[in-house]
């Protein structure tokens, strides 16, 4: 009885809140709860058509996501010289920041986004544009939880220095220290690395581009966390490249950093917790990503324009060991919880196709 009354009250409260929220109609016909968000709808639409190939989770989307991280991580809670976070500095000071070793390949993303940023002519900040593009890119990748978007970032007045972006050949100590200095716990570092589920390498093997980190680089699914835990047996090319270790599938590239984070006692159980747990992976990423997107910014000055972000593409799929592989190929690293039981994909052993380059 008491529960029913409470539920009814809650339902009525929801209705009256909705009735009180006055929506504005934007010039392009979209409606928004805050008129300040109207400017973003045509930008989102333009991005979907012209930067993300009509809303696909391909090379353009991957590049925009990586760029948002490399911009934001130029930040420290202990040293203000390390940058002002998600501040557009990677674009504004590209002459400096693209020269840093960790930013190899970011020039592609800068070149792809450049015409859009120049055409906007400062009507939104470059910092906002970079994070908006990344948030929209994620909605094209089935399996993500719809990202939030806060609007109103201030652009950088000085570049981030070198060495703010972790390298794949850095130790786990160094990666956790650098990310911790920017405000991320080990759990949030693992959460953010779900991004490598929709990613690949163009610049680790000098002879090969678009080498995916898992067998499904266009889907934000848990395969990345499964496949990084399997015994490495092969390289996509000749191997021997800095930051690369053996992968379990032909055509796949495994970063040394992902391999070590999957096996380190501080992060192994956090890593394994994503396996076949789509909801945990997607939700923990969404939260950590929201934090990353406003790094260094005064959030009290930002407007919540999440309503301009499209609904994420839905995901249906089953986590599996790749064909030919089983639990006996897992290098178990989480000491407290056994590796989940999973089916093996049917059919003969396959290799993973490279990601088409835009
Ligand atoms: C914390 C340690 C991290 C390390 C060491 C690392 C390292 C790398 C490396 C070496 C590549 C390949 C670059 C290339 O050869 O083209 C890569 C790709 C990528 N990374 Fe990370 N990353 C880290 C974290 C993140 C985070 C936090 C995000 C986003 C939230 C992210 C998103 C991506 C994406 C989307 C790609 C694919 C880019 C493309 O295919 O064009 N990474 N990462
Ligand atoms: C996007 O869709 C439009 C209209 O259907 C089409 O003309 C265009 O070729 C498509 N672009 C890509 C990259 O698929
Ligand atoms: C802060 O960072 C700058 C730029 O990397 C560096 O030169 C300086 O030594 C750092 N200061 C401290 C106190 O660590
Ligand atoms: C770009 O912005 C500046 C400053 O707001 C303005 O003076 C100029 O006319 C704009 N240019 C274009 C092409 O819109």
Compute the CA torsion angle 211, 212, 213, 214 (nearest 10 deg): -140
Neighbouring-strand partners of residue 31: 25
Q: Which residues, judged by CB distance below 6 Å to any ligand atom, belong to the binding site of ligand 3?
A: 79, 81-82, 161
Burial class (CB in 10 A: 0-12, 13-18, 19+), 297: buried
Atom of ligand 1 nearest to the CA of 170: 5
Ligand number, closest to the Cα atom of 169: 1
Handedness of CA 20, 25, 31, 37 (dihedral sign): negative
Asked if residues 273 and 256 have their Cβ atoms less than 8 Å apart, the reply is no
Please say if the pLDDT value at position 82 is more than 50.
Answer: yes
Give percent of the chain with pLDDT exceeding 90: 93
Please say if the pLDDT value at position 41 is more than 60.
Answer: yes
Q: Which residues, judged by CB distance below 6 Å to any ligand atom, belong to the binding site of ligand 4?
A: 121-122
Asked if residues 133 and 308 have their Cβ atoms less than 8 Å apart, the reply is no
What is the length of the chain?
358
Cα–Cα distance for residue pair 216/319, rounded to 1 Å: 11
- Residue whose CB lies within 8 A of the most ligand 4 atoms, among 117, 118, 120, 121, for a mutation test: 121
pLDDT tens by residue, 84-116: 999 999 999 999 999 999 999 999 999 999 999
Upper half-sphere CA count for residue 71 (Cβ side, 13 Å): 36
**Known active-site residue 196:** no
Burial class (CB in 10 A: 0-12, 13-18, 19+), 95: exposed
In the predicted model, what is the mean pLDDT of the chain?
Answer: 95
* Residue among 278, 74, 270, 256 at smallest CA distance from 186: 270
User: What's the gap in Å between 47 CA and the centre of ligand 2?
Assistant: 13
Burial class (CB in 10 A: 0-12, 13-18, 19+), 336: exposed
Residue 180: other Cβ atoms inside 10 A: 15
> Is any atom of ligand 1 closer than 6 Å to the C-beta of 167?
yes
Neighbouring-strand partners of residue 330: 230
Asked if residues 104 and 278 have their Cβ atoms less than 8 Å apart, the reply is no
Please say if the pLDDT value at position 250 is more than 60.
Answer: yes
How would residue 1 be classed by pLDDT, with cut points 50, 70 and 90?
Answer: very low
- Residue whose CB lies within 8 A of the most ligand 3 atoms, among 79, 97, 162, 181, for a mutation test: 79
Q: Whose CA is nearest to atom 13 of ligand 1?
A: 201
User: What's the gap in Å between 116 CA and the centre of ligand 4?
Assistant: 15
- Residue whose CB lies within 8 A of the most ligand 2 atoms, among 54, 57, 61, 358, for a mutation test: 54
What's the pLDDT at 36?
Answer: 97
What's the pLDDT at 6?
Answer: 47
What's the pLDDT at 20?
Answer: 61
* Residue among 188, 196, 262, 204 at smallest CA distance from 231: 262
Q: Where are the beta strands (DSSP E) in 67-190?
A: 150-151
Atom of ligand 1 nearest to the CA of 189: 1
How would residue 19 be classed by pLDDT, with cut points 50, 70 and 90?
Answer: low
Global confidence as pTM: 0.95
What's the pLDDT at 14?
Answer: 46
What's the pLDDT at 13?
Answer: 45
Please say if the pLDDT value at position 349 is more than 80.
Answer: yes
Among residues 62, 70, 196, 280, the one annotated as catalytic is 70
Neighbouring-strand partners of residue 234: 247
Cα–Cα distance for residue pair 124/244, rounded to 1 Å: 38
Cα–Cα distance for residue pair 213/253, rounded to 1 Å: 5
Higher model confidence: residue 22 or residue 116? Answer: 116
Q: Whose CA is nearest to atom 14 of ligand 2?
A: 53
What's the pLDDT at 22?
Answer: 82
Ligand number, closest to the Cα atom of 123: 4
pLDDT tens by residue, 150-205: 999 999 999 999 999 999 999 999 999 999 999 999 999 999 999 999 999 999 99
343-278-181 Cα angle (round to 5): 125
- Residue whose CB lies within 8 A of the most ligand 1 atoms, among 110, 189, 193, 199, for a mutation test: 199
Strand 24-25 to 31-32 pairing? antiparallel
Please say if the pLDDT value at position 2 is more than 80.
Answer: no
Q: Whose CA is nearest to atom 2 of ligand 4?
A: 121
First-to-last C-alpha distance (Å) of the chain: 60
User: What's the gap in Å between 125 CA and the centre of ligand 4?
Assistant: 14
User: What's the gap in Å between 219 CA and the centre of ligand 2?
Assistant: 21
> Is any atom of ligand 1 closer than 6 Å to the C-beta of 154?
no
> Is any atom of ligand 1 closer than 6 Å to the C-beta of 209?
no
């Amino acid at each position: 009885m008491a529960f029913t009354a409470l539920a009814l009250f809650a339902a009525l409260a929801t209705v009256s809140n909705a009735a009180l929220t006055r929506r504005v109609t934007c010039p392009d016909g979209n409606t928004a709860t805050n008129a300040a968000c109207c400017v973003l709808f045509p930008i989102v639409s333009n991005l979907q058509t012209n930067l993300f190939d009509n809303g696909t989770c391909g090379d353009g989307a991957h590049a925009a996501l990586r760029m948002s991280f490399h911009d934001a991580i130029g930040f420290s809670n202990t040293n203000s010289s390390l940058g002002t976070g998600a501040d557009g500095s990677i674009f504004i000071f590209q002459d400096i920041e693209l020269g840093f070793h960790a930013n190899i390949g970011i020039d592609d993303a800068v070149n792809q986004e450049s015409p859009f940023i120049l055409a906007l002519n400062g009507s939104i900040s470059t910092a906002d544009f970079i994070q908006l593009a990344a948030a929209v890119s994620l909605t094209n990748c089935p399996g993500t939880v719809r990202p939030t978007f806060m609007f109103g970032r201030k652009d950088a007045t000085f570049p981030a220095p070198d060495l703010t972006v972790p390298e794949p050949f850095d130790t786990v100590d160094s990666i956790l220290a650098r990310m911790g200095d920017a405000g991320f716990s080990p759990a949030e570092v693992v959460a953010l690395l779900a991004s490598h589920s929709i990613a690949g390498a163009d610049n680790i093997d000098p002879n090969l581009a678009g080498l995916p980190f898992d067998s499904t680089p266009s889907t934000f699914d848990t395969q990345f966390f499964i496949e990084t835990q399997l015994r490495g047996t092969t390289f996509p090319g000749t191997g021997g490249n800095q930051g690369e270790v053996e992968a379990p599938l032909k055509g796949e590239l495994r970063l040394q950093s992902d391999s070590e984070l999957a096996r380190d006692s501080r992060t192994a159980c956090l890593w394994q917790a994503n396996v076949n747990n789509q909801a945990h992976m997607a939700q923990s990423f969404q939260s950590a990503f929201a934090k990353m997107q406003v790094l260094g910014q005064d959030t009290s000055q930002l407007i919540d324009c999440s309503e301009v972000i499209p609904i994420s593409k839905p995901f249906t799929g089953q986590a599996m060991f790749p064909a030919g592989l089983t639990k006996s190929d897992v290098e178990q690293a989480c000491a407290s919880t056994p590796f989940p039981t999973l089916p093996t994909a049917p059919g003969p052993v396959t290799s993973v196709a490279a990601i088409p380059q835009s």
